[in-house]
Amino acid sequence: MAEPQAPRRPRAAPEAPPGALARTRELAAKFAEVVDTDVLEWDAAKTPRVPRARVPVELVRVGPESDGAWLELLPRGRRSEVPAFLRRGDRGRIALVDGRFAGWVWLSRVTHRDPWSGLVVRLAPDEAYAYALWVEPEHRPSGVAGVLMADVQAEVHADPALTRFYGWVDTRNRESQLLLRMLGLKDVQHVKRIHLLRRLGRQVPRSAHPPYGPLSADGRHRTAGAPGQ
């Protein structure tokens, strides 16, 4: 007869070395990441805020009709982005500090798919969409973005054909969230987007709350002829 065996103690799972979980999460996020995204709007009937930058900022407004000399103001890496913006008829403003590129923002009046995020902001004829807001790290935060965005607000406010503009921002992008809310933009919709390999973005289906808005298939005003997602 076999001797009765002492009950086996359950083996403890091997402990992960400190930081391993964080590294695994970081690696997984490099492959596929879901990003919470807020869509905000600004009502064109509001009076734009007067910006107060802490450095002297010069603005250069550009568009499809401008001669190409302004392209020289851009860092080389930015120039390749411009032709797609101009083909849509979008208008940009470039901020210069001491005569050098410090940041920019663009305003579009046509529905299009943003190639990086994969988001499609669907616009009615009385709507616009501000995108690509960027300030060079060495100028943050000194009010440059405030000057750029206030100029967008002034253009939208002065245009009788426009009733609002939209912008979207990652929920976790604290600086931009503070900036846009300080400028008076209000939440209109929330969506999730997924990024593969930190590129190839796409809106997660059925993630839009509320279900009707500028990032829904029908758009806020059910615009006709919008490209698919």
Ligand X SMILES: CC(C)(COP(=O)(O)OP(=O)(O)OC[C@H]1O[C@@H](n2cnc3c(N)ncnc32)[C@H](O)[C@@H]1OP(=O)(O)O)[C@@H](O)C(=O)NCCC(=O)NCCS
Q: Would you tell me which residues interact with ligand X (CB under 6 A)?
A: 133-135, 140-146, 167, 169, 173, 175-176, 178-179, 182
- Which has the closest alpha carbon to 108: 224, 214, 18, 192? 214
Nearest distance, CB of residue 61 and ligand X, angstroms:
18
**Sign, CA torsion 83/86/88/92:** positive
Number of H helices, E strands in the chain: 5, 10
Nearer to ligand X, 144 or 156 (CB): 144
- The minimum distance between CB 15 and ligand X, in angstroms, equals 38
Nearest residue (CB) to ligand X, 95 versus 226: 95
Beta carbons of 203 and 120 less than 8 angstroms apart: yes
210: which 2 tokens? 């509320």
Question: Shortest approach of ligand X to residue 17 CB, angstroms?
Answer: 33
Contact 197, 36 (CB under 8 A): no
Write down the least CB distance from residue 57 to ligand X, Å: 9
Cβ proximity of 189 and 164 under 8 Å: no
Q: Which is nearer to ligand X, 20 or 182 (CB)?
A: 182
Residue found under tokens 């809310």: 181
Nearer to ligand X, 98 or 125 (CB): 98
Least distance between ligand X and beta carbon 217 (Å): 23
Between 19 and 189, name the residue whose CB sits nearer to ligand X: 189
Cross-strand pairs, 202: 194
Beta bridge partners of 186: 41
CB of 182 to ligand X, least distance (A): 4
**φ, ψ dihedrals at 87, nearest 5°:** -60, -30
Which residues is 105 bridged to in the sheet? 93
Nearer to ligand X, 12 or 29 (CB): 29
